[in-house]
Each structure stands twice: as C-alpha cells, then as structure tokens.
Amino acid sequence: MFDKLEELEKKYEELTVKISDPDVIADQVNWQKYMKEQAAMKDVVDKYREYKKVKQNMDEAKEMMEDKDMKEIAEEEYYSSKEQLPKLEEELKILLLPKDVNDDNNVIVEIRGGAGGEEAALFAYNLYRMYTMYAELKRWQVEVIDINETGIGGIKEVSFMIKGKGAYSRLKFESGVHRVQRVPETEASGRIHTSTVTVAVLPEVEDVEIEINQNDLRIDTYRASGAGGQHVNKTSSAIRITHIPTGIVVACQNERSQTQNKEAAMKMLRSKLYEMKQEEQQEKVASTRRLQVGSGARSEKIRTYNYPQSRVTDHRINFTIYKLESFLNGDLDEMIEALIAADRADRLKEGEI
C-alpha cells in the first residue's frame, strides 16, 4: 500500500509542476486534463502526508524519550501519535479503493409496480415521491421522462432523471425489489397486505461510452397521455424507441416536442445498453459481495417498509430504521451511509487495493 502511496505522491508533485508551466497552461485541453487528474489525487495525497507527519512525530518523540528532561512530554507525543496511525491507515485504505467511474454521474431511475395490483401502484408513487424529495434535499434537479399513472393516485411505472454531482454514488444501491407491508385504505377487515415495487437505478452515460447504430432502432410516435391540454390531443409528440438487437424498449412523453422526447429516450437507451454491457462483464467475474451493485439482481428483495411498526429494513446489510415517515419524506442519508460503509467493508475484505 505504501509503495502505491509513494507513487501517487510523486505523480501528484509532477502534475503540480505541469499545471504551473506556461506552455501547458496555453494548451487548455491538456491543462484541464492535468488539473482534473491532480484533483482526483488530492484527498489521498493530503491524507498520506498527514500520515507521514504523524509517523515522523512518533519517531522523533521516541528518540526524545531517552532524554530524562523531555521524557514525560515525549511519551505523551509518542502515544498520542501512535494512537492516530491505525485510524489514518484505515482512512488511506478507503481512499485507495477503486472509484466507480459512474459515481459522479446523473442517474435515470425506473420504478414499476409489481405484485399487489393497485396497492403496488400506490406504493410506487410513494417511492417516486421519496426519491424526488431526497433530490430536493440535495438540491438536485428532477426531470420526468415517462409516467403511467393509475386512476386513484398510483403509478404503474415512471422513469425520471436526477441531475446532480454524485447522484449515482448515493442512489446506486437502490436497485432491486422494495416490499411494503401495510393495511390498504380499501381493506375493510384491516388485514396487512404485502406488495412489491421494482426500482432500477442507471447511470447516465455519454455517446462516446455506448455506440448505437441508428439502423438498429425502430422509432414510433404516438399521442401523449396525461397533462397537456389541447397539445396532447393534436400532436403525436411522444416517442417510443425499440433497440431491435436486444429488444429493449424506451419511451418518453413528458416533453412538448418530438425532438426533446427523442433525446430523453435515447439517454435512457444508452444507459440501459451500458448496464447490459456491465452485467455481461460482471457475469464473467464471479463476485461474492453482498450488495451486488450493478449485477442485475433486480429480482432480489432488498428492502421492506413495514407501516404498522414504522420500520424500514435493508435485508442486504440487516440494517433497520424505525422512522418510516421521515424516510418516505426523503430522509435517506442514514440508510445510504450504512450501505456505502458495508460496500467499503466488503471491498476492503476482498483486498481491492
């Protein structure tokens, strides 16, 4: 680990010299590339320098302990520094873990009602509201791509984009089956029903990451349903794109023009094709990690929302929160931090540094 840290610090210093060179500054493309590369290293280099400083203090204090006049002060410094080192080493291990290349990306979220009929559709709306409220708390932007509502406030399915730095890093563990246990308003006997909703979280990817042959696409237009007044009745602005080789179908009806709807639908298609490519790569490399991030295990029941007990339990990490109402109002950070910590622990255990 420390050889790698030495190499990183050396590279960081080389980049510091480069970005101060007038010739490099004149070439803005390369200068920005070097600036970005250096910024990505800064946290780990700063932490490593802190570690080296504490280690140096400990070594110097050990030498000073031989001086009778300085022994008491030196011992205090020595044991204080020694106590800090293990914590700094753990922090360095975490910083050295390979970063998910998509962590800073925007995300496309798909929510679909599963088993449970209208009750599942109502809970799909609850989850949609939960994620949009979380996005608001993070000051992220939400754009609906496509939505299919039911008559009494439920959602059969909805696709939407959340735009914000780090959105994927925070929401990538949400993919899977979410189960709700509650008494439906329509249930006269007061029996608890169990329904399920499927959530998929995809990173938004750029054109250069996924090449799409236009000849592989079938593009259909149709009239949008839902809000829109006369505009809905007069124009066929909604877009449905079928990727013939894979059978993937995406749709967008939320924008007012065909061009905008096509652009949004293509973003969804790129993300779905990217996810499929990632799944194929990961299937070749067996993984034992609990969270199965990006493994395509969408059939896995990941979380239960129990209304009578005001309980939210994530089954992957056996983590429970007893504040269902605030959770459904977007207070997700405690759960998300627990999932991130569990993922880091798995990766450290597997020696991914």
- CATH assignment of 107-205+289-349, among 2.40.10.10, 3.40.190.10, 3.40.50.720, 3.30.70.1660: 3.30.70.1660
d(CA 20, CA 11): 15
CA distance 164 to 183: 36
Question: pLDDT digits over 25-70, tens only?
Answer: 988 888 988 888 888 888 888 998 999 999 999 998 898 888 888 8
Identity of residue 196: T
Return the closest-CA partner of residue 138 out of 161, 174, 173, 170: 170
Q: What are 157's strand-pairing partners?
A: 112, 148
pLDDT at 232 > cutoff 60: no
Q: Which stretches within the chain are classed as H helix? A: 2-18, 22-26, 28-64, 71-96, 117-137, 167-171, 230-234, 258-284, 324-328, 333-349
- Kindly report, residue by residue over 252-307, the tens digit of the pLDDT: 887 667 788 888 888 888 888 887 777 765 554 444 345 544 443 445 799 999 99
Supply the mean pLDDT for the chain.
83
- Percent of the chain past pLDDT 90, that is, above it, reads 28
Q: Which CATH class is domain 214-281?
A: alpha beta
Q: What is the C-alpha separation between 97 and 349, in angstroms, rounded?
A: 11
Q: How confident is the model over 174-189, as pLDDT tens digits? A: 999 999 999 887 676 6
Per-domain boundaries in the chain:
2-96, 107-205+289-349, 214-281
